[in-house]
Amino acid sequence: MAVYNTDIAAVFEEIADLLEIEGANPFRIRAYRNAARVIRDLSREAGDMIADGADLTELPGIGEDLAAKIHEIVHSGTCVMLRKLKKRTPPALIELLKLPGLGPKKVKVLYHELDIHSLEQLARAARDGRIRSLHGFGEKTEAKILHSIEMQAGATARFKLAVAAQYGERLVSYLKAVPGVDHVVVAGSFRRYKETVGDLDILVTANRTSPIMDHFVNYDEVAEVIAKGTTRATVRLRSKLQVDIRVVAKQAYGAALHYFTGSKSHNIAIRKIGQEMGLKINEYGVFRGKQRVAGQTEESVYAAVGLPYIEPELRENRGEIEAARAHRLPRLVELADLRGDLHAHTQATDGRNTLREMAEAAQARGFEYLAITEHSRHLTVAHGLTPQRLLAQMDEIDRLNAGIKGITLLKGIEVDILEDGTLDLPDDLLGRLDIVVAAVHSHFDLSRARQTARILKAMDHPHFSILAHPTGRLIEERAPYDADMLRIIRHARERGCFLEINAHPERLDLLDIYAQMAKEEGVLVAINSDAHSANQFDNLRFGVGQARRGWLEKSDVLNTRPLKELRALLARTL
């Protein structure tokens, strides 16, 4: 039974939540949350490290007790401490924690102040107006709680792209090792780099004697076999993620890959074009009457209807077919096009690696530059930098640049945009930086007019470079704040500044539609990792996927430029 870093981190987060409900020592709670972050950010699976005899106490913040619990979770999937906590915590409180916006502190108040034990009781209290009077809640929070309950009732489980990738990629490696297997690929919304996926669709080509189906249903992560046949099967993993596998003939591989990649709307449009040409297009191929005329490759499917190949990330029926007909398809940006990263943190605030470690990790990836952009002082939870601490870090960057070869560190800050649109640090200090990344970290509930005005005012600041995670959304946890994105994008164009696609899997922000809007308005976008550890540069691939969904080409991305050209562009905003 494989246990992933995501599983271990989830156990530690749940322990921290339940301890917080109980009112345990804050330092103890923080230790579990920090351990969850450390494990989640590892570049290797903790289970593999244990198998290789690694000493887990060498990981930052992991002492002997936590290391022992990691061993326990890897071998059993859980730990005794979590079971004990669950036993003494009302089960409904654990369910309440799954509602967006309801953390352990609020759940604790609801439990002790209103004696709420279930979602039904919570919904009734919200409808009766009893929640708004509690300290730290209010009418807006009460309304959000009720909305979250209603949304959850009709929602189906979805997995963030990075989490689905963790399960899907290991399963693909497992299936590729099965005798007689040729192709193994994950199709569906995963292949289109959607921010979340409901399930995984895996396509396989294999010879007739391959034991692929038996190997699939006996995979050690499988919790339930829903269906099994000779060419298709469906299972549910222990993580609750459903996986469908289909074994297809080699001559139909391209047609099946096109069909199961989607989107449904894109496929319908392609089939309609085929019908107009006397063709039938399905998962088995492209047919004229009974004769198969295409289908072995995806390229052949598109060629059969007179179109060039359309990249999976574009297949949403949002103009890609018309662009293909007119030979105007974009040549989408690739991960290898990035010359550097313009948003990263170190141990100076809430990061987990030193300045040198981050520089060396970026250099190892072939980056030409890396901007160090710590949080500013207003974000106290992240130990944001005061002016004095920022000046000290700037001196440290100068010393490191003088001694390190092959990469340049840029001096920056992720400065808070305050409620009135001013920036969190003085002008004379911001003016000494190479780059100013500005972000909204508070007052997400302002009206559309006030939120928009706040951001526009910040962008007018003479030292403003990039608007970070521009809509403020956290996937399935916090909705985007209400702001006029078209006005913001056009103001960026007028001002000569830039927007960010934040590649962190919790954010993936800009949304793809706004990235495409920025392209159309001539505003460059930076694809940044927002890395808080050296391993999180890996997340850039998800940011690139989001950029590709937004039709971005290499020329549309700020940090595909070499350093000299980048400096010239940044100088226009400072």
Least-confidence region, from 127-131, 315-319, 442-446, 459-463? 127-131
CATH code assigned at 51: 1.10.150.110
> Is 330 among the domain residues?
no
Position 129: which residue type? G
- Residues 288, 150 share a domain: no
Q: What pLDDT sits at residue 92?
A: 67
CB of 468 closer than 8 Å to CB of 437 = yes
Task: Give the span between the Cα atoms of 456 and 464, in whole angstroms.
Answer: 11
Phi and psi at residue 217, to the nearest 5°? -70, -15
- Tell whether the model's pLDDT for residue 155 goes beyond 70: no
83-87, 114-118, 553-557: which is most confident: 553-557
**367 and 475 together in one domain:** yes
403-414 confidence digits (pLDDT tens):
999 999 999 999
Q: What is the 3-state secondary structure (H, E, C) of 128-177?
A: CCCCCCCCCCCHHHHHHHHHHHHHHHHCCCCEEHHHHHHHHHHHHHHHHC
Q: Which residues pair with 115 in a beta bridge?
A: none
50 domain-assigned:
yes
> What is the DSSP annotation of 5-24?
HHHHHHHHHHHHHHHHHHT-
Q: Are residues 497 and 367 in the same domain?
A: yes
Q: What are phi and psi of 83, to 5 degrees?
A: -60, -40
Shared domain for 193 and 59, answered yes or no, is: no
- Reduced to 3 states, what is the DSSP secondary structure of residue 224? strand
Q: Are 530 and 546 in contact (CB under 8 A)?
A: no
Q: Is 80 exceeded by the pLDDT of residue 132?
A: yes
Quick one: average pLDDT of 452-463? 96
Instruction: Yes or no: say if 455 and 467 are a contact pair by the CB < 8 Å rule.
Output: yes
From 90-94, 141-145, 399-403, the region with the lowest mean pLDDT: 90-94
Across all residues in the chain, what is the average pLDDT?
92
Domain boundary among 247, 272, 288: 247
Q: Which of 275, 305, 325 is the last residue of a domain?
A: 325
pLDDT at 118 over 80: no
Listed range (1-10, 174-183, 238-247, 421-430) with the worst mean pLDDT = 1-10
Instruction: Render the burial of 361-375: b for 16+ CB within 10 Å, e for the rest.
Output: bbbebebbbbbbbbb
More confident: 333 or 38? 333
Residue 493 confidence (pLDDT): 96
DSSP string, 174-215: HHHTSTTEEEEEE-HHHHTT-SEESEEEEEEEE-TT--HHHH
Same domain, 267 and 149: no
* Domain residue limits at 196: 159-247
414 plus 477 within the same structural domain: yes
pLDDT digits (tens, 9 = 90+) for 60-112: 889 999 999 999 999 888 899 998 988 887 776 777 777 777 788 888 888 87
Cα 296 to Cα 285: distance, rounded to the nearest angstrom? 7
Residues found in the chain = 574
The CATH number of the domain holding residue 370 is 3.20.20.140
Residue 164 has pLDDT above 60, yes or no: yes
Instruction: Please determine, for residue 153, whether its predicted confidence score (pLDDT) is greater than 80.
Output: no
Provide CB contacts within 8 A for 328, sequence distance 6+. none
